[in-house]
Amino acid sequence: MRIGNQQLNGAAALAPMAGVTDRAFRALCLEFGASWVTSEMVSAKGLTMHDRKSGFLMTLGQAEHPAAVQIFGCDPETMALAAKQAAETGCFAVDLNMGCPAPKVAGHGGGAALLKDPDLAARITEACAKAIDLPVTCKIRIGWDEASVNAVDLARKLESAGAAALTVHGRTRRQMYAPPVDRAAIRAVKEAVSIPVIGNGDITDCASAAQMLAETGCDHLMVGRGALGAPWIFAQLNEFFASGAVLPPPPVETRMEIMLRHISALCEDKGDYVGMREARKHAAWYVKGMRGAASLRQEIGALESLDQLRAVAEKVIAAANQ
């Protein structure tokens, strides 16, 4: 698939996830074959006020390509200014967050709140598209709640405003991350617009990826929670769509090696204090479902050093080999 001038190779992209898709994780997912990655969402207001954290979130690594930067906000002028800053990072596209359900975002008019005002969403898209030479994409949900599913109307307005592609998460804001994704609603968007539509939601393995494509007709896939503790899902999807083969997850020893490499990069980027505290959730995802993982929950929740993480990895491997 192409977005703008960027050729995107692979079956699926990595979805932007706040607190998860930082530089270390994005680089790892690209290594495993993600077609592209997107930054954590960055506050447009923060960028225009030169907030240090916002600038850090937006920074891309040297080997981190192709990558998009995602911004959020509700004021067209501020979003356009932020898009200009994002475009200077070396990204291939600027993505506009119109689907985040978090109260701290939607409660201030950004993210999923824009689902309630398609005209404002379109003005924001138009302002950003006019401000930069890069493609502007939008990530949306299918509506605010079940009584106001308006993804088709919104998608048409965004396309007319200059959006180069749309990612559709097949749930409303009210539904958050349950019940199962509404693929029919994604199909309706695909049939309503001529720009690429990327399907998102509940893609956790090859079977669910194939189901998303078959039932929606979407142009591409975007994986979010399915990649947590399993960045190799991108290699599995690439092989499946290339040959039909379903690759098993890596052996436990390899999975622990990947985890340690991931967290080492995380600590190098953010320092040991922050990195190890963020490592706790990643470690829990990496060992989920493994033999002996439940007994390590307390130990994982108190991780403070890479040595402690190595000890956890050794215990997981030992339990798997019993």
CATH fold group of domain 2-243: TIM Barrel (3.20.20)
Domain 252-320 has CATH 1.10.1200: yes
Cα–Cα distances (Å) from 284 to 73, 287, 313, 316, in that order, read 32, 5, 11, 12
Selection from 245, 234, 166, 243 nearest residue 198 by Cα: 166
Q: Are 16 and 40 in contact (CB under 8 A)?
A: yes
Cα–Cα distances (Å) from 26 to 59, 74, 207, 226, 245, in that order, read 12, 26, 24, 14, 25
Q: Are 183 and 197 in contact (CB under 8 A)?
A: no
For the chain, residues with pLDDT lower than 50 are none
Res 288: pLDDT: 94
Contacts of 34 (CB under 8 A, 6+ apart): 10, 12, 13, 14, 223, 234
How far the first Cα of the chain sits from its last, in Å, is 45
Distance, CA of 101 to CA of 58 (rounded, Å):
21
Say whether 252-320 and 2-243 share the same fold. no
Selection from 234, 235, 240, 196 nearest residue 216 by Cα: 196
Res 63: pLDDT: 80
Q: Are 23 and 59 in contact (CB under 8 A)?
A: yes
Question: Out of 29, 91, 100, 218, which one is annotated catalytic?
Answer: 100
> Any catalytic annotation for residue 100?
yes
Q: Measure CA 280 to chain center.
A: 20
Res 322: pLDDT: 85
Q: What are the extents of the domains in the chain? A: 2-243, 252-320
Q: Within the chain, how many helices (H) and strands (E) appear?
A: 14, 11
Instruction: Give the bridge partners for 38, in sequence order.
Output: 68
Q: How many CA atoms lie within 13 A of 30 on its CB side?
A: 21
